[in-house]
Structure 1
Amino acid sequence: MPAAVLFLFYILVVCTPLALATVQGQPPRGVWDELAAGAGMAGLAILLVEFVLSGRFRSISGNIGMDITMRLHQLLARSAAVLIVLHPFLYRGQQSLDPRQSPPGSGALDFGFDGLWLGIIAWLLLGALMVMAIGRDALYRHEHWRLTHGVMALIVAALGVLHATRAGQYSREPVLTWVWGSLLGIAVLSLLWVYVIKPIWKRAHLWQVSRVRKLADRTWELRLVPEGHDGLRYAPGHFAWISIGRSAFSLNENPFSIASAPGDGSELRFVIKELGDFTNHIGEVATGTRAYVDAPFGALTLKGHESAAGLCLIAGGVGIAPTLSHLRALNAAEDPRPRLLIYGNRHTGQIVHGDELSQMARDTPLTLVHVLSDPPDGWTGETGFVRRDLLERYIDENARQAWVFILCGPPPMLHMVETALLEMGVPARHILSEQFSYD
């Protein structure tokens, strides 16, 4: 589904409660009361739709990228929180603490316990949820935070729906009550899909570690083979969530780009750097260890760019993994299009598959450019970082307009390179990048 269609669909869903409230024909109230009700309904709608922006639905993240999906999730969650937190303070109309003195429809709120106080509890829990999300890196292991975050968000959403349908003037109407119930049902199904249905599917599609070997400084290659099934259908540029030596229901998963090409057979290859937690012990994983794979994800594929005149691949560190997948697939297909690989590292000991890349440069239409920030004595290649002046030397005017540019590496490098390419006149639609850090 194209990104524009996804955006329009999102706006339609979020605005539906407001539109239904508008056409009810309720007696008009003061401006502040209407703003308060609108803010509450908009915030609740955004919160409910957040469950499908978790990053685990390929129809979404596969079109706009996992990093953009998660950034949207964060930004929209903050917007929902602001609307929900503010909305009770916006009411200005006459209210009565005695429901018998405020017939349905005569006031902005029903102060009965089963309506108003559900909202107060949801309001307080939402504040706690946002504080926990902001401090997640310092307070929790990711897998513990992930489960707590999902369950708390669902509780807040359920209480919010009950509050809206019992206390709100508009949401008590049957049609809007049905809409809130449907959105809550979708939220519940989203969590069930991620935490129950997918793990059951993964148990029926086991993988096994076939090889672990060191490639470079603190960098390893992990290979997985399917156990009792045909493997995975994916495209170059996709990545997978992997859990090794744990239950299919374990929340301890890590995202890694696939380095193999679809034509290499059923075996999956990954390039993994020691960065903490599981990755620090990747070299200790024994052959035969069972693994679970949730894939494919990502938007670094050539979908929509199949007719590009050439490819410029810019990688930093283990960002070489999806680049390798693209190059291996192009070579297997004997694709005649020119390609340029600019590969940045700190020193030569970090270069991954250097011999294979050099062989590609000799045998295929690949121009290989190594860039080292800490080069050894006698180094004659590029030094420093991937800067604009370096890009201008290797990318001519025709390539800037007709090629597709695939970027993968540390976030600072991605930001710098993308800015440089845009300043050089490369159309934004020709630049593909994705990262696993969303802050």
Structure 2
Amino acid sequence: MKPLLLIVAYLVAVTLPLLLSAWVGGPPRQLHQELASGLGILAFSMILVEFILSGRFKAISNDVGMDVTMRFHQIMARTLLVFALLHPFLYQGTPTGGERPWDPTRQLTLTTDFSDLATGIAAYLLLAGLIVMAIGRTQLGYRYETWRLLHGLGALLIAVLLLHHTVYAGRYGSQPVMTWVWLVMTGVAVGSLLMVYLVVPWLQKARPWRVTSVVRLTPKQWEVTVTPDGHDGLDYQAGQFVWLNVGHSTFSMKENPFSMSSAPAGGPEVSFMIKELGDFTRTIGQIKPDTVAYLDGPYGNLTVDGREESGVALIAGGVGLAPLLGILRQMRLTGDSRKVKVIYGNRIINQIAYHEELGDEDVVYVLSEPPEDWHGETGFIDGALMDREFSENEFRDWVFVMCGPAIMMDVVEDHLSTRGTPPQRILAERFSYD
């Protein structure tokens, strides 16, 4: 029901300006001109709501789930881009002659005032560039911190440009009621950005953490543990994640999202399982004990707390073990009576982390490039392996929690659906989103 509520709330928010514009009304125009205005209104309102979807708001990420939220954010970004690209071209065929386009009756949406058109043109180009950069961020090779800064500033600039364009060049946006609607919506969007980049960092200054240990788990995987410095710590559920900032100001862009591999029942210390991938993670081994750190969170709903299923299946690929390890630790520490089975996939044997802690009972290790003396599962985590490890009743009655590479998760999700696992019993969290 929660994803459905998100969709309903989203539709109300993005269609409100469109409905109000229809209520404000105006002299009749040709259908394609009204369609052009409608698409432009929808695109602008969708852009403003995207600020909320991409912001760090627990009411959304914790209730609906980060995976659902980010997928929805991506789909809507692509949709609004199509609306925006079509918007100016649908004005073709506007009748010529008379006092067009400076008609004081505002029968036409276009204007010859270049300053009013220029802001729309600039936003038009920036929007396309912003979405393309987001989709191709990995291929373009941008540092995460650089991309995040450019993405935030680019979205802010687009919102301001479109506000000017809509109010001064738009047929409906120039109406006093609509001008106030756009001002309020833009203010909320910009406010959400300021909340993330200014208010939250300011509040974090009063809740510092200190690094207590940095331990190498495998050749390219580390465990970083932090402890609260002068406060009670973090109230979180096993499986959630935080934005971790180590050794920088709270206002620094150098923070990254990491799932917690520790369990709330284990005490106030919080641990992270981090793989060397990006610019920050390659320097994990250089972090010194007692380095100041800041945590923003918790976020996400990849948790089994309060669920009533008889069993829990934890399916991890590589460093995707992190949040699932936190769940497993919490279940063991609290004496959880539910059955549990772990499927843990890696490429080679020396990538297996926490082997001693995990043990071999109810844990299935999978290697795609196994050594000759390997006696566990080989290949990839796929439908065939799932069928070998889970019964028909388990597919139907257990909750399946997944974290790992997108390909693995897509394959497993599809197979679970074919085996009759209800959608509400499939919990997933991806490493990244295109």
TM-score (normalizing by structure 2): 0.93
- Give the Cα separation in 2 of the matches to 1:393 and 1:101: 72
- Give the Cα separation in 1 of the matches to 2:118 and 2:111: 10
- Give the Cα separation in 2 of the matches to 1:279 and 1:118: 39
Q: Could you tell me which residue of structure 1 aligns to residue 167 of structure 2?
A: 165
- Give the Cα separation in 1 of the matches to 2:18 and 2:184: 15
- Asked if the contact 2:259/2:322 (under 8 Å) is kept, the reply is yes
CA shift for structure 1 position 74: 2.7
Q: Could you tell me which residue of structure 1 aligns to residue 109 of structure 2?
A: 108
The 5 Å alignment of 1:127-206 reads: 127-137=128-138, 138=140, 140-206=142-208
- Give the Cα separation in 2 of the matches to 1:380 and 1:127: 51
Query: What SS class does the counterpart of residue 40 from structure 2 fall into?
Result: helix
C-alpha change, 1:400 and 1:155, in structure 2 (3 Å) is same
Question: Aligned letter for 1:429?
Answer: Q
The 5 Å alignment of 1:247-396 reads: 247-302=249-304, 306-358=307-359, 361=361, 367-396=362-391
- Asked if the contact 1:55/1:61 (under 8 Å) is kept, the reply is no
- Asked if the contact 2:405/2:431 (under 8 Å) is kept, the reply is no
CA shift for structure 1 position 346: 2.5
C-alpha change, 1:308 and 1:102, in structure 2 (3 Å) is same
Map Cα deviations across residues 239-275 of structure 1 (whole Å, 9 max, x no partner). Answer: 1111111111111222211111111111001111122
**Greater mean alpha carbon deviation, residues 57-66 or residues 124-133:** 124-133
- Asked if the contact 2:3/2:68 (under 8 Å) is kept, the reply is no
Question: Aligned letter for 2:10?
Answer: Y
- Give the Cα separation in 1 of the matches to 2:105 and 2:241: 53
Map Cα deviations across residues 343-392 of structure 1 (whole Å, 9 max, x no partner). Answer: 11223322211111128x4xxxxx22222223334332222222222211
Map Cα deviations across residues 228-249 of structure 1 (whole Å, 9 max, x no partner). Answer: 1111111111011111111111
Q: Could you tell me which residue of structure 2 aligns to residue 123 of structure 1?
A: 124
Question: Aligned letter for 2:39?
Answer: A
TM-score (normalizing by structure 1): 0.92
Q: Does 1:82 align with 2:82?
A: yes
Q: Could you tell me which residue of structure 1 aligns to residue 213 of structure 2?
A: 211
**Greater mean alpha carbon deviation, residues 88-97 or residues 219-228:** 88-97
For residue 413 of structure 2, the aligned residue among 393, 403, 418 is: 418
Query: What SS class does the counterpart of residue 64 from structure 1 fall into?
Result: coil
**Greater mean alpha carbon deviation, residues 180-189 or residues 154-163:** 154-163
Map Cα deviations across residues 205-229 of structure 1 (whole Å, 9 max, x no partner). Answer: 1111001111223211110001111
Equivalenced residues, count: 432
- Asked if the contact 1:95/1:107 (under 8 Å) is kept, the reply is no
CA shift for structure 1 position 29: 1.0
Q: Give the % identical residues.
A: 47
Query: What SS class does the counterpart of residue 108 from structure 1 fall into?
Result: coil
Structure 1, unpaired ranges of 5+: 362-366
Question: Aligned letter for 1:390?
Answer: L
Structure 2, unpaired ranges of 5+: none
CA shift for structure 1 position 97: 9.8
Query: What SS class does the counterpart of residue 129 from structure 1 fall into?
Result: helix
Question: Aligned letter for 1:188?
Answer: V
Q: Could you tell me which residue of structure 2 aligns to residue 427 of structure 1?
A: 422
- Give the Cα separation in 1 of the matches to 2:18 and 2:259: 41
- Asked if the contact 1:98/1:111 (under 8 Å) is kept, the reply is no
**Greater mean alpha carbon deviation, residues 270-279 or residues 101-110:** 101-110
Q: Does 1:27 align with 2:62?
A: no
User: What is the CA RMSD across the aligned residues, in angstroms?
Assistant: 2.1
CA shift for structure 1 position 41: 0.5
**Greater mean alpha carbon deviation, residues 9-18 or residues 152-161:** 152-161
